[in-house]
């Protein structure tokens, strides 16, 4: 039938033209059109294979605020307490310093309503006692001055007496020398009179008179010598009196100085107690102000975490969540560790926000619809809990503005744009499971950056 055997052809025996199937097979015009179509399709495939394709790294994240102080935050209570009254409800706008709720104390040591006033009274009493102790210290210092002056006078008086005794001793010493001379003269006269009496030239009466005179001079000499010894003892006693006066007043002054030191110690201790009470009063005043939970910045009350009146909580527990009004929007996305070397600060990113219609071609971002442009501003150096690295993306000011009514927390799919390669290369890479080409961005004069392939 196919005219490939050595037997007779069937076409000679049977008229094949009367069959529609064979008639369709003999339409050469249709064959030519089909062949041209296949050729054109093949050429088109070849051309497409050489078209540029943008390599990319996909990530998934959510919308956030660029600055940490602009992100949603929870307000905690610095002290334990009990909720007494709410001043706002969820969705209310509050300004910085507005009261959100009022809490009361649950600790026994702070429940006295007059605790602050009583503490201040104790502080004032201690301050008054400090003044009294200072006055006592001044009085003791005046006593010391008086005793020092009295000591000076007593010592001066004792030294004057000592000088007088020294002069008296000097006079007595001179008089003693004169008496000693008189004794010697009387002795010579007595001896001469005795000799003359033995020779018969003097009467016994004269000898006895000379003897009496000699003995009288001798007695006067001994009396004066005793008097001189007494004066010498008085001088020694005067010297001892000076030492005694110094010791007596030194003891008195030491006691007064000891009392002054004791008063100073009491004053310093009282000052420490005053400082402690002042600190307590300030702490109580600050603690009283913390009974009113206020807004740290302008924002909207997002959610009340503790809601019941009379509900108790510990310090540091979250009470309410607040969303700042003014914030710079950004996208927080996460990429795999294998793709991290391909992400660079300032790199281009296309973002698809959940809830916004989009028609996106990852390889041809310029032909996509509904995506928004961004720039990489921060790359986290440490791996997050989900095993990926965090990347922060901000709006590209040179491209279309991001949606106005987008909310923080909205999901976002990101595509980081990398190198431009032919489609055939990308297919070959995908089939072999190779990663995208590593590159380093190279700054250019224009708004964008050229990427140098390595």
Same domain, yes or no, for 285 and 314? Answer: no
- The structure tokens listed for 243 are 């030492």
- One domain for residues 267 and 315: no
What pLDDT was estimated at residue 454? 34
Residues 6 or more apart in contact with residue 392 via CB below 8 angstroms? 64, 66, 330, 331, 332, 376, 377, 378, 379
The pLDDT of residue 200: 72
What mean pLDDT value characterizes the chain? Answer: 81
Q: How far is CA 217 from CA 63, 183, 221, 235, in A?
A: 133, 5, 6, 27
Confidence band, pLDDT 50/70/90 cuts, at residue 11: low
Helix, coil or strand: residue 58:
strand
Distance CA 126, CA 271 (A): 8
Q: What's the pTM value of the predicted model, to 2 decimals?
A: 0.56
- pLDDT score at 332: 92
In this structure, are 243 and 346 located in the same domain? no
Q: Is the pLDDT of residue 60 over 50?
A: yes
Per the domain annotation, does 166 fall within a domain? yes
pLDDT of residue 364: 52
Q: Is pLDDT larger for residue 433 or for residue 230?
A: 230
Residue 110 lies in a domain: no
Is 217 within a domain?
yes
Q: Environment class of residue 120 by beta-carbon count within 10 Å: exposed (0-12), middle (13-18) or buried (19+)?
A: middle
The confidence score (pLDDT) of residue 445 equals 37
Specify the number of domains making up the chain.
4
pLDDT band at 359 (very low <50, low <70, confident <90, very high): low
Q: What is the pLDDT of residues 268-307, one digit of tens each?
A: 998 899 899 999 899 888 888 889 999 988 899 988 888 8
Same domain, 240 and 350: no
The whole-number pLDDT of residue 226 equals 86
Claim to verify: residue 133 and residue 274 sit in the same structural domain:
yes
- pLDDT value at residue 113: 84
> Tokens 């009274």 appear where?
121
From 289, 307, 338, the end of a domain falls on 289
Q: pLDDT above 70 covers what percent of the chain?
A: 83
Q: In which band, very low, low, confident or very high, does the pLDDT at 217 lie, cut at 50, 70 and 90?
A: confident
Q: How many CB atoms lie within 10 A of CB 416?
A: 24
Q: Which one, of 313, 324, 321, lies nearest residue 78 by Cα?
A: 313
Structure tokens at 64: 């956030």
Residues 61 and 71: their CA atoms lie apart, in Å, by: 15
Asked if 276 and 297 sit in the same domain, the reply is no
Q: Does residue 62 sit in the same domain as residue 150?
A: no
Based on C-alpha coordinates, what's the Rg of the chain?
Answer: 61
- Max avg pLDDT among 2-11, 16-25, 73-82, 355-364: 73-82
Residues 25 and 64 in one domain: no
**Model confidence at 150: pLDDT above 70:** yes
User: Which of 233, 215, 239 has the alpha carbon at shortest distance from 172?
Assistant: 233
> Residue 234 has which token pair?
């008085």
Residues 162, 304, single domain; the answer is no
Same domain, 144 and 203: yes
Domain span at 403 = 54-69+327-453
């Amino acid at each position: 039938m196919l005219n490939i055997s050595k037997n007779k052809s069937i076409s000679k025996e049977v008229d094949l033209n009367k069959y529609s199937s064979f008639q369709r097979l003999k339409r050469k015009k249709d064959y030519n059109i089909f062949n041209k179509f296949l050729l054109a399709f093949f050429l088109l495939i070849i051309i497409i294979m050489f078209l540029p394709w943008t390599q990319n790294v996909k990530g998934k994240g959510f919308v956030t605020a660029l600055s940490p102080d602009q992100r949603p935050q929870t307000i905690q209570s610095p002290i334990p307490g009990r909720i007494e009254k709410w001043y706002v409800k969820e969705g209310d706008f509050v300004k910085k310093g507005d009261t959100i709720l009022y809490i009361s104390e649950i600790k026994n040591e702070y429940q006295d309503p007059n605790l602050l006033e009583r503490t201040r009274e104790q502080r004032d009493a201690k301050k008054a006692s400090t003044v009294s102790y200072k006055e006592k210290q001044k009085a003791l210092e005046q006593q010391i001055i008086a005793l020092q002056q009295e000591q000076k006078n007593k010592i001066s008086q004792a030294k004057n007496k000592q000088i007088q005794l020294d002069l008296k001793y000097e006079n007595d010493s001179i008089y003693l020398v004169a008496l000693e001379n008189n004794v010697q003269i009387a002795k010579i006269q007595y001896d001469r009179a005795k000799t003359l009496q033995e020779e018969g030239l003097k009467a016994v009466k004269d000898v006895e008179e000379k003897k009496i005179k000699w003995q009288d001079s001798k007695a006067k000499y001994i009396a004066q010598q005793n008097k001189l010894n007494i004066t010498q003892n008085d001088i020694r006693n005067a010297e001892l009196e000076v030492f005694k006066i110094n010791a007596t007043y030194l003891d008195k002054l030491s006691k007064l100085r000891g009392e002054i030191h004791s008063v100073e110690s009491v004053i310093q201790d009282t000052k420490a107690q005053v400082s402690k009470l002042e600190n307590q009063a300030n702490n109580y005043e600050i603690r009283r102000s913390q009974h009113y939970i206020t807004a740290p910045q302008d924002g909207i009350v997002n959610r009340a975490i503790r809601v019941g009146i009379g509900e108790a909580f510990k310090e540091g527990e979250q009470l309410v969540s607040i969303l700042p009004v003014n914030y710079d929007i950004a996208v927080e996305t996460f990429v795999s560790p294998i793709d991290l070397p391909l992400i660079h600060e300032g790199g281009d990113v296309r973002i698809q926000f959940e809830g916004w219609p989009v028609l996106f071609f990852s390889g041809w971002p310029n032909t996509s619809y509904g995506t928004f442009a961004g720039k990489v501003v921060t790359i986290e150096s440490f791996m997050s809990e989900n095993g990926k690295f965090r990347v922060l993306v901000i709006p590209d000011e040179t491209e279309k503005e991001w949606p106005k009514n987008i909310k923080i927390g909205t999901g976002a799919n990101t595509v980081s744009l990398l190198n431009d390669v032919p489609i055939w290369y990308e297919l070959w890479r995908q089939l072999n499971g190779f990663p995208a080409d590593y590159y380093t961005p190279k700054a250019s004069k224009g708004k964008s950056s050229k990427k140098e392939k390595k």
